[in-house]
Amino acid sequence: MSLENVLPPYLTVQGFLRDPAVTELLEYASSIERRFKPAMVGDHRIDPRRRTCRRAKMTGPLGSELAERILASVPSFLDALRVTSFSIGEVELEVVAYEDGAHHGTHLDTAYGNGNSREGDRRLTAVYYFFRQPKKFDGGNLRLHAFGRGAGPRASADIEPICNQLVVFPSWAPHEVLPVSVASGQFEDSRFAINCWVSERTVSARTDEARAAPTQSGR
């Protein structure tokens, strides 16, 4: 079956975290504002034409809670997306702030050819949205693009960011984040999201684990 001009599968999960989590995450983002750095593109350079948001590593209890929830949900995600199952490796997390004018051009979440095996092992992408209510920004839809490179218009699907919603799709799906407008210009009014990537456990990792496992006698 040809995938030409076929949209990738995706699902949305409303109310993914407990109710107080949004408030706690907003306080967390504000407390680490100085740690947010310009996000790079896949070949590890800053390119404002392709990506202008800021990012920080997600750590602490809130990050652990989100990672655990996602790991526990992977089997149901795979079933819903009708994606082939895989041996689960690690979960990567980063918190991203889309301030006034920020965007991220069309890309994949897998390797870009710079030898980054971690990115190459990604299989599932999950994006969790949190921001001030009522919403203080406009735009910022997640746009999924159809597969293929043929001539003519390409099918696409726009997903509006909704607070406390998780969006899940295969990491090899082409997607972008449309430009964001924040009238106040304040960091706290940004479109915040946590990018989550679930990677496949590599053959080398499984081999290392097997070598490290204690042997049992043949008695």
Which DSSP string corresponds to 76-118?
Answer: HHHHHHT-----EEEEEEEEEEE-TT--EEEE-SS--SSS-HH
pTM, entire model: 0.88
List of E strands, the chain: 11-14, 37-38, 54-57, 88-98, 104-107, 122-130, 137-139, 142-145, 156-159, 165-170, 175-177, 180-182, 191-200
User: Does the structure show a pLDDT above 70 at 196?
Assistant: yes
The overall average pLDDT reported for the chain is 89
Q: What pLDDT is recorded for position 4?
A: 72
pLDDT of residue 124: 97
- Torsions phi, psi for 56 (to 5 deg): -150, 150
Residue-level pLDDT at 153: 78
* Model pLDDT, residue 118: 58
What the block records as the tokens of 80 is: 């819903």
Task: Give the mean pLDDT of 18-38.
Answer: 96
Q: How far is CA 77 from CA 12, 81, 90, 122, in A?
A: 10, 6, 16, 15
For residues 143 and 211, the answer to whether their CB atoms sit within 8 Å is no
* Mean pLDDT, range 151-160, rounded to an integer: 86
**Residue 120 pLDDT > 80, yes or no?**
no
* Local structure of 70: helix, strand or coil: helix
Q: Does residue 1 contact residue 151 with C-beta atoms inside 8 Å?
A: no
The pLDDT of residue 114: 42
Residue 87 and residue 89: Cα distance in Å, rounded?
A: 7
Interatomic CA distance for residues 37 and 148, integer angstroms: 33
Give the pLDDT mean for 112-130: 75
pLDDT at residue 210, as a whole number: 45
Which pLDDT value is given to residue 5?
Answer: 81
SS3 38: strand
Q: Which residue in 203, 172, 170 sits closest to 74, CA to CA?
A: 170
Give the integer Cα–Cα distance in Å for 191 and 183: 12
The predicted structure's pLDDT at residue 108:
94
Query: What's the pLDDT score for residue 115?
Result: 43
Q: Is the pLDDT of residue 216 over 70?
A: no
pLDDT number for residue 75: 97
Residue 49 has pLDDT above 90, yes or no: yes
Is 50 exceeded by the pLDDT of residue 165?
yes
Give me the residues paired with residue 54 across strands: 38, 97
Compute how many other C-beta atoms are within 10 angstroms of the C-beta atom of residue 214: 4
Which range is most confident: 1-10, 38-47, 156-165? 156-165
- 28-53 burial: b if 16+ Cβ within 10 Å, else e: bbeeeeeebeebebbeeeeeeebbbb
pLDDT at 148 over 50: yes
Rounded to an integer, the average pLDDT of 31-46 is 92
